Structure 1
Amino acid sequence: MIQKSSEALSRRAFLGMAGAATGIMVLASSCDKNDDNMMNNGVDLGSGDVGILNYAYALEQLEAAFYTRVAQSPYNGISASENALLTDIRDHEIAHREFFKSALAGAAISNLEFDFSAIDFGSRASVLATAKAFEDLGVSAYNGAGKLIVTPDYLTLAGKIVSVEARHAAYIRDLISNGSFADNTVVDMNGLDTSRMPVDVLAVAAGFIKTKINASNLPR
């Protein structure tokens, strides 16, 4: 079981990524943050590697906010094991979010606002279905963004995070239906996981994000 202090977890879990973080901050320091990135067209994620990192940061904000709500108000009938592991997932997502926020520094987008009104947090089925959707989406997002990343250290970082997200997805899937952790809805006949490009990921996530996001400058 991981330590429940998010700040301590954030410091320790990413100690080995310090080199990548330093590189992100150096690159980010050369990018102007234009009025908190908020323009008439929405929060601008930016361009190049910084834009991709802000894209990942936005998704980690979404997942962290969702699991924080789950932990604050556990669904009816939740078992001690489920509660403990979902809390672990929350802490992982918070650590991911805080890492990107710290590393991007002045180039980081603002805190986003979310709309979880469609989720019944008292219902196990509703919470787990949403968790499954978010985790599968997150894995496909990192998979799709990998080819857009130029800096090798950032690609390594993304690989470390997506492997954790895939562990989350497998656990959530098996809570819903045992043995479904790698079924043909996420793994193809070649044994490869699904991938999505940022425009497709953000279109799905938009149903839960109140803040308008401008991804027009992301690499394609």
Structure 2
Amino acid sequence: MISVLFSHIEEKVALTKQDREKISTYFVAKKLRKKQYLLQEGDICKNLAFVAKGLLRTYNVDDKGDEHMSVFGWEGWWISDFNSFLSGEKAVFNIDAIESSDLLLISRPDYEALTLDVPVMDRYFRILYQNSLITKERRLMGSITYTAEEKYVKLAESNPQLIKRVPQNLIASYLGIAPETLSRIKKNLLRKR
């Protein structure tokens, strides 16, 4: 599992053998079964999770009981309720496994110690946060400016593996549309081809 993490880190920054040895001491392996929670709304998020294998989702539930998808996390992704993780406030998101998953967890104290002990990790996380901010800005802009069909097409083009792995009702929730609307969009797209 740790080799998947090292591969991901080395896409962004260079690691020495000593860096690798230190990094591996900060993480704890965790397995989740399908539908098992990593975090529930109202709890404090104590860990940042790296997905070595599997697929998770981050979502909240409104007063009517409707789920609203925020993020999918698959191999090579980090997932957490970042506000809760960084501030210690109660989580506003649930995180659970769509597929059985293998994770590497790092606690807040260990995260802070890691970035001091292995300075290149501070740069690595900064790059991740910058990329995450850009992605969220683009998603927000897309939710405002794109039609439902354009949202689906862009998601399918940028993340074809996600479309294959995630149930359609969750894709619809992520796009902010009804499952019936997604079915119509997919039928229309098939007709156009």
Normalising to structure 1: TM-score of the pair? 0.25
Say which one has the larger Rg.
2
Structure having the higher strand fraction is 2
Structure having the higher helix fraction is 1
Normalising to structure 2: TM-score of the pair? 0.27
Higher relative contact order (CA 8 A, sep 6+): 1
